[in-house]
């Protein structure tokens, strides 16, 4: 494993989008040290900011006390990146495969436009997690984002496919303009759930969740597919199994009828 340890205090954003195990393939340490990265408006060598140790394989570790390391894992196809510290914006944005684990918080647009693989953030994520990349018309298209604490506003905005699971609270308008895909919200919710949602599923553990007026409640059910989904979620993160217990029965609401949407919000009603 190659280990990068940040050894300067950053005064500007650092773009680490190009730094991943695949980019290191075939390089020796000296060459890795000379890789160019964008630091603020300037280009610097990787070794100007990081101490680089270890041997080359499929994994990379980044140790940092800065929250401005942007774009970590965004070009990842395979392999694993472990970040010990906070991530900046665009964590795993657009990533196609492999795994990113962030032991800290992540900034805006984590997993935006993600296409595959798995991202786990032990802390919280900012706004638009699983949302769109700049200029794109659809958000996350595949893979899984697992958030240990809270998520900001507009989680899964325009999401097309894939799964986001949040253990803590989510900000306003979770699942806004969703096209498809699944959000599992295991903590508290805020206003505007599923605003502008076309399709897709919001699994909501919060019994006090407030449905927007443009959602139509269709009744309470015990649906077999929810049981299958919950089994899958439990396998993804076994310690959170107890949070899924109440989904034996759900209340189903369909919307957003304000835009002819047929998305569903499933609120836990079981014991």
Partner 1 sequence: MQAKITELRGARIYDPTHGIDGEVRSVFVSGDGIVASPRDPGTIKELLDLSGCVMMAGGIDIHTHIGGGKVNIGRMLLPEDHLAERSTRGEYPRLGSGRYSPSTLLAGYRYAEMGYTACFEPAMLPANARQAHMEMADTPIVDKGAYALLGNDDFLLRQLAGGADPKLIQDYIAWTLHASQALAIKVVNPGGINAFKFNQRRLDLDERNAAYGITPRQILLALAEGIHALGLPHPLHIHGCNLGVAGNVNTTLATIEALAGLPAHLTHVQFHSYGTEGDRKFSSGAQRIAEAVNANANISIDIGQIMFGQTVTESGDSMRQYAGSAFAYPKKSVIMDIECDAGCGVVPFKYKDSSFVNALQWAIGLELFLSVTDPWRVFLTTDHPNGAPFTSYPHLIRLLMDRSFRRDMLATILPEAAAASVLGSLEREYSLYEIAIITRAAPARSLGLSTLGHLGIGARGDITVYTDHPDRERMFKAPRLVYKAGEQIIREGKIVATPRGATHVVRPEFDSSIERLLDTYFDQYMSVRRANFMVSDHEIEEFGQSPLIRHTARR
Exactly one of 38, 78, 122, 248 binds partner 1 (CB under 8 A); which one? Answer: 38
Q: How far is the CB of 18 from partner 1 (least distance, A)?
A: 13
Q: Show Cβ contacts of residue 262 under 8 Å, excluding neighbours closer than 6 positions.
A: 198, 199, 254
- Ramachandran angles phi, psi of 93, nearest 5°: -70, 125
Q: Given the rule CB under 8 A, which of 115-123, 134-142, 143-151, 252-260 is the region that contacts partner 1?
A: 134-142
- As a whole number of angstroms, the distance between CA 248 and CA 212 comes to 24
- As a whole number of angstroms, the distance between CA 17 and CA 129 comes to 17
- As a whole number of angstroms, the distance between CA 58 and CA 98 comes to 10
Q: Is 248 in the site for partner 1 (CB under 8 A)?
A: no
Q: How far is the CB of 183 from partner 1 (least distance, A)?
A: 24
How many residues in the chain? 271
Q: How far is the CB of 37 from partner 1 (least distance, A)?
A: 11
Q: Is 191 in the site for partner 1 (CB under 8 A)?
A: no
Closer residue to partner 1, CB minimum distance, 132 or 176: 132
- As a whole number of angstroms, the distance between CA 56 and CA 26 comes to 9
Q: Is 35 in the site for partner 1 (CB under 8 A)?
A: no
Q: Is 10 in the site for partner 1 (CB under 8 A)?
A: no
Exactly one of 1, 67, 103, 136 binds partner 1 (CB under 8 A); which one? Answer: 136
Per-position x/- string for 39-68, each x denoting binding to partner 1 as judged by CB under 8 A, each - no binding: -xxxx-------------------------
**Is 118:162 a contact under the CB 8 Å cutoff?**
no
145 pairs with which residues across the strands?
Answer: 119, 164
**Is 257:216 a contact under the CB 8 Å cutoff?**
yes
**Is 137:118 a contact under the CB 8 Å cutoff?**
no
102 pairs with which residues across the strands?
Answer: 83, 121
Size of the site for partner 1 (CB under 8 A): 10
Q: Is 137 in the site for partner 1 (CB under 8 A)?
A: yes
- As a whole number of angstroms, the distance between CA 200 and CA 180 comes to 4
Q: Is 133 in the site for partner 1 (CB under 8 A)?
A: yes
Q: How far is the CB of 4 from partner 1 (least distance, A)?
A: 21
Exactly one of 9, 30, 55, 135 binds partner 1 (CB under 8 A); which one? Answer: 135
Q: Given the rule CB under 8 A, which of 35-43, 117-125, 189-197, 217-225 is the region that contacts partner 1?
A: 35-43
Which residue ranges make up the site for partner 1 (CB under 8 A)? 38, 40-43, 133-137
């Amino acid at each position: 494993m190659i280990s990068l340890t940040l050894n300067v205090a950053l005064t500007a954003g650092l773009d680490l989008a190009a730094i991943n195990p695949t980019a290191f393939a075939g390089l020796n340490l000296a060459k890795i040290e000379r890789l160019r990265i964008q630091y603020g408006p300037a280009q610097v060598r990787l070794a100007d900011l990081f101490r680089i140790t270890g041997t080359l394989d499929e994994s990379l570790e980044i140790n940092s006390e800065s929250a401005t390391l942007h774009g970590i894992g965004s070009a990842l196809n395979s392999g694993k990146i472990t970040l010990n510290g906070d991530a900046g914006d665009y964590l795993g944005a657009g990533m196609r495969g492999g795994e990113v684990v962030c032991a800290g918080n992540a900034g805006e647009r984590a997993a935006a436009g993600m296409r595959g693989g798995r991202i786990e953030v032990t802390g919280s994520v900012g706004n638009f997690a699983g949302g769109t990349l700049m200029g794109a018309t659809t958000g996350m298209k595949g893979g899984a984002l697992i958030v240990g604490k809270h998520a900001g506003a507009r989680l899964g905005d325009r999401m097309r496919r894939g799964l986001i699971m949040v253990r803590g609270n989510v900000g306003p308008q979770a699942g806004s303009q969703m096209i498809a895909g699944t959000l599992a919200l295991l903590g508290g919710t805020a206003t505007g759930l599923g605003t502008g949602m076309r399709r897709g599923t919001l699994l909501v553990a919060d019994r006090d969740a407030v449905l927007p007026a443009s959602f139509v409640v269709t009744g309470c059910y015990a649906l077999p597919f929810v049981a299958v989904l919950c089994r899958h979620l439990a396998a993804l993160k076994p310690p959170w199994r107890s949070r899924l217990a109440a989904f034996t029965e759900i209340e189903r609401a369909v919307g957003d009828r304000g835009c002819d949407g047929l998305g569903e919000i499933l609120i836990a009603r079981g014991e």
